């Protein structure tokens, strides 16, 4: 398996622009997670899905952020409008299921977002 695939790997945009980050989870995994990583706050969970349904979006910082999972093999995280404080590395992760034997999260390589 290719692992979790994220695109783009790097994104540089100007304040006010719309940004869309993409993720393809590992085939067969029922859970998908979006994280944001910064030096100040470490790894923050933004939202996670189970079987394409959003379960907990309490980590989404504000209405400018939205996430969708239209099918089991694709998810997007959108920021509109983007702001310089959104600059961070965004990770997507997936896991097979819940419970100790199934909940290992496999992370993608991340998208480094820079908002000028």
Under rule CB under 8 A, how many of the chain's residues touch other proteins?
A: 26
For 86, list phi and psi in degrees, rounded to 5.
-85, -5
Please, what is the minimum distance in Å from the beta carbon of residue 65 to other proteins? 17
Q: Interaction with other proteins in 25-64: which residues (CB under 8 A)?
A: 31, 33, 41-43, 45, 48, 50, 55-56
- The interface mask with other proteins, positions 69-108, x = CB under 8 A, is ----------------------x-x-x-xxxx--xxxxxx
- The verdict on 4 binding other proteins (CB under 8 A) reads yes
Question: Which residues would be at the binding site for other proteins (CB under 8 A)?
Answer: 4, 31, 33, 41-43, 45, 48, 50, 55-56, 91, 93, 95, 97-100, 103-110
């Amino acid at each position: 398996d290719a692992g979790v695939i994220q695109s783009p790997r790097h994104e540089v945009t100007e304040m006010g622009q719309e940004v869309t980050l993409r993720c393809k989870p590992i085939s067969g995994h029922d859970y998908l997670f979006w994280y944001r990583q910064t030096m100040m706050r470490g790894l923050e969970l933004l939202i996670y899905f189970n079987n394409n349904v959003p379960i907990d979006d309490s980590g989404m910082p504000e209405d400018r952020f939205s996430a969708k999972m239209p099918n089991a093999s694709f998810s997007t995280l959108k920021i509109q409008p983007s702001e310089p404080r959104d600059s961070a590395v965004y990770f997507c992760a997936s896991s097979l299921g819940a419970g100790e034997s199934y909940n290992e999260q496999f992370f993608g390589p991340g998208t480094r977002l820079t908002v000028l």
